[in-house]
Amino acid sequence: MNDKTRRLIQRLTLTPYSVWAVLFIVVPLLFVAYYAFTDQNFHFTFDNISRFFTATSVVDNGETTREVHTYLVIFMRSLKLAVISTVVCLVMGYPLAYIMARASERTQSVLLTLIMIPMWMNFLIRTYAWMTILQDTGILNGFLSALHLGRIHIIGTESAVVIGMVYDYFPYMVLPIYSIMAKLDVKLLEAASDLGCPGLSVLRRVIWPLSIPGVLSGITMVLIPSISTFYISQKLGNGKFFLIGDAIEGQYTANNLHFAAAIAFILMVILLVCMALMQKLANRRLVAA
């Protein structure tokens, strides 16, 4: 192919997508910043951003009352629950990915299908199912009282939200780790045992370091949706402004678009910094290895 046709083809194939990407990926993000830094009349202001950091509310737990920074508390809670869910997913998912990768070809494909089935169910339905299970009058409590074990109140607590997040995002942790592990050369493991590595040591010194790219992508794929969710917290958690996603959604429904944009903007910046740090960490690990 000569240069002229090559350039023509490039222009024909790339232009539609490039225009689309600028119009509907880049420009909308600029609008987030624009709304975040303007007021109702589109005059420049820092108020929306500073409101995120300074807005306070009063927490009353019966005996004492104290004033807290509303959005900072919400953000820290989101971060905490997202991190806990991610860790739980990793701890639960890593062994499963390992077991799957070592299983026979047939078992692998069966397990893979089984893991993907719940994933293709809409997450609203999945979350909703847990709500019916965890409710005070739900199946779990029905089960417990049938066994005369008493009832537990779990709906509306942070634990319920973590259960929901783990359930919804668990496949996103398992699949990337599994796909890395399945590609690991069996000979590599044999070489390691041949070099006198006992089983557990093979796991620690060979499999784990090699699976880190999968683990990192699993972490991103669980952490990001769980930090920004709003449906799970609405159904399984309690209160209107439980997580940062709820805050954005709440401001949106209240038609406070500028403040919603400000929260989204701050969340985006924080996530960007986190991702950059993680990338750096991953690179350093790769260099070290």
Partner 1 sequence: MKMKRASKIYTALIMIFLFAPIAILLVFSFNEAKSLSVFTGFSLKWYRELFRDTETLRAVLNTLLLAVSASLVSTVMGTAAAVGINKLRNKVLRSTLDSVTNIPMINPDIITGISLMLMFVFVGRLFGAATSLSFWTMLISHITFCLPYVILQVLPKLQQMDKALPEAAMDLGCTPLRAFFKAELPEIMPGVITGLIMAFTMSLDDFVISYFTAGNGFQTLPIRIYSMTKKTVTPKMYALATIIFFVILSLLLLSNFYDEEAMNKRRQKKKSKEKQPQAPNVKLKTQN
Partner 2 sequence: MKKIVEIKNISKSFGDNVVLDNINLDIYDNEFITLLGPSGCGKTTLLRIIGGFEVPDQGDVIFMGENINGLPPHKRNVNTVFQRYALFPHLNVFENVAFSLREKKVPKDEIQKAVTDMLSLVALKGFEKRSVTSLSGGQQQRVAIARALVNQPKVLLLDEPLSALDLKLRKDMQVELKNIQKATGITFIFVTHDQEEALSMSDTVVVMTEGHIQQIGTPPDIYNEPQNAFVADFIGESNILDGVMLEDYKVRFSGHTFQCLDKGFAPRETVDVVVRPEDVDIVPEEKGHLRGIVTSVTFLGVHYEIIVDIGGFKWMIQTTDFHDVDEHIGLFIEPDAIHVMKKSKFSGMFGDYSSFSDEMDEIGEVDLEELEAESETTK
Please report, as residue ranges, which positions from 203 to 262 form the binding site for partner 1 (by CB under 8 A). Answer: 220-222, 224-225, 227-232, 235, 245, 248-249, 252, 257, 260-261
Contact in structure between 244 and 75 (CB atoms under 8 Å):
yes
Assess 156 for contact with partner 1 (CB under 8 A).
no
Distance of alpha carbon 171 from alpha carbon 169, whole angstroms: 6
Backbone angles phi, psi at 65, to 5 degrees: -120, 145
Q: Which is nearer to partner 2, 5 or 122 (CB)?
A: 5
Q: Beta strand 56-60 with 65-69: parallel, antiparallel or unpaired?
A: antiparallel
From the list partner 1, partner 2, none, pick the one residue 19 interacts with, judged by a Cβ distance below 5 to 8 Å according to partner type.
Answer: none
Query: Binding of partner 2 at residue 12 (CB under 8 A)?
Result: no
| Least Å from the CB of residue 12 to partner 2 | 16
CA distances to 35, 71, 224, 281, 286 from 260, in Å = 9, 12, 18, 32, 38
Concatenate the DSSP letters of all residues of 243-272 into one string.
Answer: SHHHHHHHHHHTT-HHHHHHHHHHHHHHHH
> What does residue 283 show for φ and ψ, rounded to 5 degrees?
-60, -40
Residue 201: CB minimum distance to partner 1, A: 18
Choices 2-10, 81-89, 134-142, 252-260 (CB under 8 A): range interacting with partner 2: 2-10
Torsion, CA 134, CA 135, CA 137, CA 139, rounded to 10: -30
- Cβ closer to partner 2: 1 or 30? 1
C-beta of 78: minimal distance to partner 1 in Å?
Answer: 11
- The answer to whether residue 179 forms part of the interface with partner 1 (CB under 8 A) is yes
Give the Cα separation of 3 and 11 in Å (integer): 12
Stretch touching partner 2 by CB under 8 A, among 3-11, 89-97, 176-184, 238-246 = 3-11
Q: How far is CA 265 from CA 52, 215, 223, 287, in A?
A: 11, 27, 18, 33
Give the residue from 106, 107, 86 showing the smallest Cα distance to 177. Answer: 86
Interface with partner 1: number of residues (CB under 8 A) = 102
Smallest gap, in angstroms, from Cβ of residue 63 to partner 1?
Answer: 34
Among 55, 121, 276, 277, binds partner 1 (CB under 8 A): 121
Please tell me whether residue 3 binds partner 2 under the rule CB under 8 A.
yes
DSSP state, residue 15: H
d(C-alpha 197, C-alpha 180), whole Å: 21
User: Is 255 a binder of partner 2 (CB under 8 A)?
Assistant: no
User: What does 17 bind: partner 1, partner 2, none (CB cut-off 5 to 8 Å by kind)?
Assistant: partner 1
- How many chain residues are in contact with partner 2, going by CB under 8 A? 5
* Residue 179 touches which of partner 1, partner 2, none (Cβ within 5-8 Å per kind): partner 1
43 binds partner 2 (CB under 8 A): no
Among 47, 51, 73, 126, binds partner 1 (CB under 8 A): 126
Cα(205)–Cα(266) distance, integer angstroms: 39
- In the complex, minimum distance from the CB of residue 276 to partner 1, in angstroms, rounded to a whole number: 11
The site for partner 2 (CB under 8 A) is made up of 1-5
